[in-house]
Amino acid sequence: MASVETAAEHERILREIESTDTNCIGPTLRSVYDGQEHGLFMEKLDVRIRNHDREIEKMCNHHFQGFVDSITELLKVRGEAQKLKSQVTETNKCLQDDGKELISSMEELKQCRVQQRNIATTIDKLTHCLPVLEMYSRLQEQMKAKRYYPALRTLEQLEQTCLPRAGKYRFCSIMAENIPKLRTQIRDTAMTQLRDFLESIRKHSDKIGETAIKQAQVQRSLDSSVSTQPRALIGRRSRREAQAVTGGTESDAHGGSPFSEQDSGILDVEDEEDEDEVPGAQDLVDFSPVYRCLHIYTVLHETLEGYRRYFNQIVGFFVVEDHVLHTTQGLVNRAYVEELWELALSKIVAALRTHSSYCDDPDLVLDLKNLIVLFADTLQGYGFPVSQLFDMLLEMREQYGEILLKRWNITFRQVLDQDNYSPIPVLTEEEYRHYTSQFPLQDPELEKLPFPKKLPFSEFVPKVYNQIKEFIYACLKYSEDLHLSSTEVDDMIRKSTNLLLTRTLSHCLQYTIKKKNVGLVELVQVIINTTHLEQSCHFLEEFISNITNVPPDTVNAAKLYGTSTFKDARHAAEAQIYTSLNAKIDQFLQLADYDWQASVPGAGTLMASDYLIDLIAFLKSTFAVFTNLPGTAVEHATLPGKVAQTACMSACKHISTSLMQLLLDPEVRQLSIGALHQLSADINECESFARAGPVAGFQGDTLLLAFSDLRQLLDLFTQWDWSTYLADYGKATCKYLRVNPQTALALLEKMKEMSRKNNVFAQFRKTDRERQKLIDTVIKQLRNLISQHT
Q: Are 47 and 20 in contact (CB under 8 A)?
A: no
Omega of the bond leading into 452 within 30 degrees of 0 (cis): yes
User: pLDDT class for 374, splitting at 50, 70, 90?
Assistant: very high
User: pLDDT class for 504, splitting at 50, 70, 90?
Assistant: very high
DSSP 294-320: HHHHHHSPP-HHHHHHHHHHHHHHHHH
Q: Are 652 and 690 in contact (CB under 8 A)?
A: yes
Among candidate residues 393, 380, 394, 372, the one with its CA nearest the CA of residue 341: 380
Among candidate residues 649, 679, 674, the one with its CA nearest the CA of residue 661: 679
The overall average pLDDT reported for the chain is 81
Residue 220 above 90 pLDDT? no
Residue 509 above 70 pLDDT? yes
Query: Which pLDDT score, from 0 to 100, does residue 585 have?
Result: 93
Query: Tens of pLDDT along 409-449?
Result: 999 999 999 998 889 999 989 999 999 899 998 888 888 88
Mean pLDDT value of segment 380-395: 90
Mean pLDDT value of segment 615-642: 69
Which residues are within 8 A (CB) of 605 and not within 5 positions of it... i.e. 6 or more apart? none
Choose between 291 and 400: higher pLDDT.
Answer: 400
User: pLDDT class for 242, splitting at 50, 70, 90?
Assistant: very low
Q: Are 496 and 475 in contact (CB under 8 A)?
A: yes
User: pLDDT class for 250, splitting at 50, 70, 90?
Assistant: very low
Q: Are 687 and 768 in contact (CB under 8 A)?
A: no
Query: Tens of pLDDT along 36-69?
Result: 667 777 888 888 888 888 888 888 888 788 888 8
Residue 240 above 90 pLDDT? no
Query: Which pLDDT score, from 0 to 100, does residue 586 have?
Result: 93
| 3-class SS of residue 641 | helix
| 3-class SS of residue 329 | coil
Angle, alpha carbons 119-122-123 (nearest 5°): 85
Chain-centroid distance of CA 407 in Å reads 15
Query: Which pLDDT score, from 0 to 100, does residue 188 have?
Result: 80
Query: Which pLDDT score, from 0 to 100, does residue 237 have?
Result: 43
Choose between 763 and 465: higher pLDDT.
Answer: 465
Query: Which pLDDT score, from 0 to 100, does residue 687 have?
Result: 92
User: pLDDT class for 307, splitting at 50, 70, 90?
Assistant: confident
Query: Which pLDDT score, from 0 to 100, does residue 412 have?
Result: 94
Mean pLDDT value of segment 614-632: 75
243-257, 344-358, 513-527, 530-544: which has the highest mean pLDDT?
530-544
Query: Which pLDDT score, from 0 to 100, does residue 287 have?
Result: 73
Among candidate residues 553, 456, 570, 425, the one with its CA nearest the CA of residue 510: 570
| 3-class SS of residue 141 | helix
Among candidate residues 266, 280, 271, 267, the one with its CA nearest the CA of residue 216: 280
Query: Tens of pLDDT along 667-720?
Result: 988 888 889 999 999 999 999 999 988 888 888 788 899 999 999 999 998 888
Mean pLDDT value of segment 84-107: 89
Mean pLDDT value of segment 122-128: 84
Q: How far from each other are the two terminal CA atoms of the chain, in whole angstroms?
A: 114
Query: Which pLDDT score, from 0 to 100, does residue 269 have?
Result: 46
pTM score: 0.63
Query: Tens of pLDDT along 186-201?
Result: 878 877 877 887 788 7
30-34, 203-207, 576-580: which has the highest mean pLDDT?
576-580
Query: Which pLDDT score, from 0 to 100, does residue 298 have?
Result: 60
Query: Tens of pLDDT along 127-145?
Result: 888 888 888 888 888 888 8
Query: Which pLDDT score, from 0 to 100, does residue 252 have?
Result: 37
Mean pLDDT value of segment 223-231: 55
419: DSSP letter: -
Residue 264 above 70 pLDDT? no
Query: Tens of pLDDT along 388-416?
Result: 999 999 988 988 999 999 999 999 999 99
C-alpha torsion sign, points 579, 625, 458, 475: positive
| 3-class SS of residue 426 | strand
Query: Which pLDDT score, from 0 to 100, does residue 232 have?
Result: 42
Q: How far apart are CA 661 and CA 360, in angstroms?
A: 55
